[in-house]
Chain A
Amino acid sequence: NAGVTQTPKFQVLKTGQSMTLQCAQDMNHEYMSWYRQDPGMGLRLIHYSVGAGITDQGEVPNGYNVSRSTTEDFPLRLLSAAPSQTSVYFCASSYSRLAGVTDTQYFGPGTRLTVL
């Protein structure tokens, strides 16, 4: 049981490049989400999914796309990277289909992204 895995751990992009951050979980969790963590700002929700085929926007969705074709995988795509997207990105999952209202969330180790 690997929990929540994320790849890559580190990435440097040039402005305008696109890339996909991978996230997978092997706990059969229905709810998955992507956060970005910036100094002094805590975690901000980018996108989330309550099940395969269902995604929705969080607090800061602009510049990012997601899809959920399987229960296990929830990739985050940066369409055209900008320096403002330099951040640490965390994927998280929880069991409940009710958006993890009372469930604890399990976090991946994070991806540190730098956009030059």
Chain B
Amino acid sequence: AQSVAQPEDQVNVAEGNPLTVKCTYSVSGNPYLFWYVQYPNRGLQFLLKYITGDNLVKGSYGFEAEFNKSQTSFHLKKPSALVSDSALYFCAVRDNMDSNYQLIWGAGTKLIIKP
């Protein structure tokens, strides 16, 4: 069965420091991987996705993520955190073998950037 795990409910980072939000997945076939961000009282916004090709994917607002097939991970990273990055981050995966094309979501990680 397909699944996504975001092992940290909350990540605290000082402004200016690098940040990492972790995501691991389990699929039968090849994964299509996504990161979305949700600011307070807002809908989710797309950050970046991995479909195929280069394992390092660059996205919006200076974020990037690295696809690691051997570790089945897709961690979100940013070299220097901003207070405005504080939000709820969701990882999601689709299995290319799933005929229903279901998008499976992680539970979310709350990112807090302290000044």
Chain A residues proximal to chain B, CB less than 8 Å: 4, 40-45, 58-59, 90, 92, 98-102, 104-110
Residues of A contacting B: mostly: loop
Q: Are B43 and A42 in contact (CB under 8 A)?
A: no
Contact of B51 among A41, A42, A43, A102 (CB under 8 A): A102
Chain A residue contacts of B49, Cβ below 8 A: 102, 104
Give the interface residue-count category, chain B: 20 to 34
Chain B residue contacts of A104, Cβ below 8 A: 34, 46, 49
Q: Are B43 and A43 in contact (CB under 8 A)?
A: no
Closest Cβ of chain B to A104, distance in Å, is: 4
Of the stretches B14-22, B61-69, B73-81, B103-111, the one at the interface is B103-111
Rounded to whole angstroms, the CA-CA distance of A90 and B42 in the bound complex is 10
Closest Cβ of chain A to B59, distance in Å, is: 10
Contact of B42 among A41, A42, A106, A109 (CB under 8 A): A109
Chain B residue with Cβ nearest A110: B43
Q: Are A43 and B90 in contact (CB under 8 A)?
A: yes
Q: Are A42 and B107 in contact (CB under 8 A)?
A: yes
Rounded to whole angstroms, the CA-CA distance of A44 and B92 in the bound complex is 11
Q: Are A90 and B43 in contact (CB under 8 A)?
A: yes
Chain B residue contacts of A102, Cβ below 8 A: 32, 49, 51, 94
Rounded to whole angstroms, the CA-CA distance of A59 and B100 in the bound complex is 11
